[in-house]
Amino acid sequence: MIKISYFSNIRTLLHTTSAWHKFDLKTNNWKLIRIIGYLLGPLHRLVTSIGLIPIAVHRSLLEEENLLPTPPFPDPKKRPAPTCPLKFRSDDGFGTDVKNPTASMEGAPVGRNMPAVLKEMRNHRGGPDVQLVAQRLLARESFKPAGAQLNITAAAWIQAMVHDWIQHDDGAETSLDKGEKLCPLGKFKFFETKELPDGSYYSKRTQWWDASFVYGQNEEQVAASRGKGGKMKINESNNETLPSRPDGTDSTGDNSNSWVGVTVLQVIFLKEHNYVAEMIAKENPGMSDDDIFGYSRNIISALVAKIHTIDWTCELTNTQQLEIG
């Protein structure tokens, strides 16, 4: 019976038993899980195709059980909900999800994979201090080179993605000074993440994969980044840098808490957008500036997602299973 149920519907079986990390001790499923775990554990390291099974099961479980709904978020501009998928990326993320138009837009609550816990309950037993844990686990005791796999561009890329996805608002100022002298930051001040009354958090950035680190997070920022002919503005005096305001700050894209690594990527994708816009305009002489810009942004957004999922992530994890996936 085990073989019949296993081979006739492996996905249903593994989903029911929750595949290794979720046990229902009221039934005998846990025995079956152990059998499957022992069988697949060694084999997935030897046979790549079998190694894909736990990845697929884990992804399915996360999609269905590890995402909690966010609190309702009304559109501040009170725009009508779209009736069909958007033709182009919206400036602030509104309408990307047709059924839930305010989901993940600028200012919307951030999704969670576990229930919110009241602040006073998060460390109700006291200690160990978070700084001590971080320093014990993360502090390097010796140099460990990673240049054969990654370089500084990988760090710049993930911070650019953070600029694309999320930015919490600042709350009260606090400090950490309970760590050990394992790193130079023995004591430092910072701002806590601002919470909503229900214990959730919101993002000042759109949470969609929309290349907003290049274009901006809302209508005003996108408008300030746009030039003529569906292109983005460039720095006329030095096209290797972003256009700037009179005070010297960059006027294109999302530049909060930035550094040269993120700026380099912004310049690269700005130039790529303008190249794509030129090609579209050349092949479609009668197309409007708005359409040229919209199609170009769609292409750049897809390119960014492709680089992250197929190039950056696979190089970071460097497994055959993920390359196939």
Residue of 15, 21, 163, 273 marked active site: 163
Give yes or no for a contact between 43 and 50, defined as CB atoms under 8 angstroms apart.
Answer: yes
Cα 207 from Cα 217, distance rounded (Å): 10
Question: Among 16, 113, 24, which Cα is nearest to 62's?
Answer: 113
Q: Which long-range contacts (CB under 8 A, 24 or more apart) does 40-43 make?
A: none
Q: Give the other-Cβ count within 10 Å of 23's Cβ.
A: 13
What's the CA gap between 178 and 156, in Å, rounded? 30
List 175's β-bridge partners, or say none.
189
Largest CA distance in the chain: 75
111 vs 62: CA distance, rounded Å:
13
124 has catalytic annotation: no
Angular region, 297: left φ>0, alpha ψ -120 to 50, beta rest: alpha
Report which of 284, 269, 298 is spatially closest to residue 229, judged by C-alpha positions. 284
Sequence-ordered list of residues with C-beta below 8 angstroms from that of 301, at least 6 positions apart, any chain: 89, 209, 210, 211
Question: What amino acid positions are annotated as catalytic residues?
Answer: 163
